[in-house]
């Protein structure tokens, strides 16, 4: 019998807390990339707009999630004009 997981992060991370962190990072990273692509400008100009180096922008656009903390991604999302909404839910008893 194989295990079933709600998402890939639950399957590959060592703890539920790490899985939640990775899932949040992935979602924010994809939103930033989508926003940056919508600008239709070069990576260098996008990097300047977000206050990062061009190599760092390249890491972001290539999805190198291991190079970005959740805190950093939240800051970049804000600089990109995105709003982060967070919902904390108590599990049913």
Domain ranges of the chain: 8-79
- Give the per-residue pLDDT at 91: 84
Domain 8-79 has CATH 3.30.365.10: no
Which pLDDT value is given to residue 80?
97
Q: Report how far apart, in Å, the C-alpha atoms of 43 and of each of 26, 37, 78 are.
A: 20, 9, 18
pLDDT in tens, 41-61: 999 999 999 999 999 999 999
d(CA 20, CA 17): 5
**Percent of the chain predicted with pLDDT > 70:** 85
Question: Does 5 or 20 have the greater pLDDT score?
Answer: 20
Predicted local confidence at residue 41, as pLDDT: 97
């Amino acid at each position: 019998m194989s295990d079933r997981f709600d998402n890939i992060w639950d399957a590959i991370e060592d703890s539920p807390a790490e899985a939640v962190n990775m899932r949040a990072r992935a979602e924010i990273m994809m939103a930033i990339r989508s926003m940056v692509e919508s600008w239709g400008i070069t990576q260098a100009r996008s990097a300047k707009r977000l206050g990062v180096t061009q190599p760092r922008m390249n890491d972001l656009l290539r999805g190198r999630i291991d190079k970005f903390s959740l805190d950093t991604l939240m800051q970049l999302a804000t600089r990109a004009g995105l709003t982060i909404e967070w919902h904390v839910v108590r599990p049913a008893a």
